[in-house]
Amino acid sequence: MIDLHMHSTCSDGTLTPEELVAAALDIGLEAAALTDHDTVSGVERFLSSASGTPLHAVPGVELASMLFCKDIHIVGLFIDPGCTSLLSALEQMRLWREERNAEMVEKIRSKGYEITMDEVLAEAGGESVGRPHMASVLLKKGCFQDMQGVFNRLLGRGGSCYVARKYYPVDVCIRLIHEAGGLAVWAHPLHAAHGARTVLRKIGSRLVSYGLDGLECYYSMFVEQQQADALEFARARSLLVSGGSDFHGASHPRVKMGTGIDNNLAIPFEIYERLLAAKQNRDSHGSEKTS
């Protein structure tokens, strides 16, 4: 089995990059990707920890954007974590996050909750800081019973303390991943659309025109029909197929690495092999053009 969508403490996961590798080896994964939000700071640690083990470690990142008023997440696989254009864009994304976070913390304080930006930063412990870390602080202070309650009342879209994010356009996200030598994969394409095929076709067609390489067809929160719809669209548009659990660790306890929710995932190694072959083929053709 493989898992090409996982998060570490460098963004909003609860395991370090090294602990992710250890857990992947423990359950017998053959390939795994670290795809933290808006940061590649854990990638070298992830790759180094996997070096010399049976695990095929994939350097990745997850970039958020919007299209047709819908959240779009693009996962970059097989990226070069040292790519200067990508690093520059990630730095800008984090600056936008910092501005948003400060505004949200002030809104939370205005509602009478005791919380500071220093507490949020300490809770995050990494470069990519966001709403889950604010929610964790409030939970530890006993202000709410669970994470969902915090988001429903304060931090979710429509919540009293929500502030909209700033994004790079989705075509720029795809271009940045390509500049870093990676494959651009639309993550959980049907999760927020609740299985609407028309949404998949509308957004997917536009992303294909931007150079999208693949579709995450295997995902923890997909029902069987959503998986089938994603696979059908990928075949129709000659897109690569990818898959992953979106593992975060203790903050999302139902989602298990490699196996998803209630063992609904079992992504075969051949998916990784096809993605790797596409990456190598692109590299080869790129070398030919520049030689």
DSSP H or E run through 67: strand 56-67
Does 2-89+167-290 match 91-155 in CATH topology? no
Which residues are registered as beta bridge partners of 184? 76
17: helix, coil or strand? helix
What does pTM read for this prediction?
A: 0.88
Are the CB atoms for 7 and 20 separated by under 8 Å? Answer: no
Sign of CA dihedral 282, 169, 219, 62: positive
pLDDT at position 191: 66
H-helix or E-strand containing 73? Answer: strand 70-77
Reference 66, options 165, 194, 182; nearest CA is: 165
Rounded to whole angstroms, the Cα distance separating 168 from 62 reads 13
Confidence tier at 130 by pLDDT (50, 70, 90): confident
DSSP per position, 135-185: HHHHHHTTS-SSHHHHIIIIISTTSTT--PPP---HHHHHHHHHHTT-EEE
Phi and psi at 3, nearest 5°, equal -150, 110
Within 10 angstroms of residue 29's Cβ, the number of other Cβ atoms is: 23
| Bridge partners, residue 264, by sequence | none
CATH 3.30.70 fits 91-155, yes or no: no
**How big is the CA angle at 88 (ends 78 and 211), to the nearest 5 degrees?**
45
* pLDDT value at 59 more than 80: yes
What number is the average pLDDT over the span 62-82? Answer: 95
Helices 43-50 & 17-26, crossing angle to 10 degrees?
Answer: 40
Q: pLDDT by residue (tens digit) across 232-265?
A: 999 999 999 999 999 999 988 999 999 999 999 9
Residue 287 has pLDDT above 70, yes or no: no
Class of domain 2-89+167-290: alpha beta
Residue 197 Cα to chain centre, angstroms: 22
**Mean pLDDT within 218-243:** 94
Domain ranges for the chain = 2-89+167-290, 91-155
- Mean predicted confidence (pLDDT) in 168-179: 98
